[in-house]
Amino acid sequence: MDFEEVVQTRRSVHEYSDESIDDATLERIFELATLAPSGYNLQPWEFLALRDDDQKAALQAVANDQEHVTGADTTVVVLGNTDPMAHANSVFDDWLAKDYLPSEDVKNAVLGNVEAMAEMPEDDRRVWSTRSTALAAMSVMYAAWNEGVASCPMEGFDADGLVEAFDIPDGYEPVMLITLGYPADETADIENERKERRPVDEVLHIDEFNPTDDTVVADD
């Protein structure tokens, strides 16, 4: 598929076939998805891919009992590391080796910036991590669909329950879930008329921000 076809035909799919995603395809999806951009290339994302039935059932129990969590071949818990320093040293060593940074001194200055980010309040670091991790999550869905593997992103889950059920250590933000699997009916979801999108002339603001959302409440 070319990129436009991937984007035009992707749908959030709830009904999956029993066909398993082979390991090479799953790996290919994540190889492409992890080419997503991230702040300072710090790549805060982690993916817990649940393929075992009991594991998926445990996830469904903390995901509002949404049935596609177990109906999909693989359901992925997308996690964001909230520590900007987690991978900073190796990332900037790579930048230095590839001349993205001119010297060790500049590398240390950049590291200093990231160390300062690591001192941000936890809520700010959660937002920081979610920005980049959400881009990787979208990339997973496009890369998957390019392989014929459908997906559904999900925010309907109990984050505390998920952290407890899967022993997620402190410092990781559960950003979203993604179901992955071959669609039960290869064409049904795709041939459904696309759910309406707000028109571009409503959402694109050139030079001046003038939202038409009448639910915006002015501050007192």
Q: How many CB atoms lie within 10 A of CB 181?
A: 24
Extract the tokens encoding 94: 């790579």
Question: Is residue 12 a contact point for ligand FMN (CB under 6 A)?
Answer: yes
Question: Is residue 155 a contact point for ligand FMN (CB under 6 A)?
Answer: yes
Kindly write out the interface string for residues 41-70 of this chain, putting x where it contacts ligand FMN by CB under 6 A and - elsewhere.
-------------------------x----
Shortest approach of ligand FMN to residue 129 CB, angstroms?
15
Shortest approach of ligand FMN to residue 152 CB, angstroms?
5
* Cross-strand bridge partners of residue 178: 76, 153
Question: Is residue 39 a contact point for ligand FMN (CB under 6 A)?
Answer: no
Question: Is residue 78 a contact point for ligand FMN (CB under 6 A)?
Answer: no
Shortest approach of ligand FMN to residue 158 CB, angstroms?
11
Q: Which of residues 185-204 bind ligand FMN (CB under 6 A)?
A: 195
Which burial class, exposed, middle or buried, applies to 52 when counting CB atoms under 10 A from its CB (0-12, 13-18, 19+)?
exposed
Q: Which of residues 158-177 bind ligand FMN (CB under 6 A)?
A: 176
Q: How many CB atoms lie within 10 A of CB 201?
A: 9
Question: Is residue 154 a contact point for ligand FMN (CB under 6 A)?
Answer: yes
Shortest approach of ligand FMN to residue 154 CB, angstroms?
4
CB 77 within 8 A of CB 47: yes
Contacts of 50 (CB under 8 A, 6+ apart): 56, 59, 74, 75, 76, 77
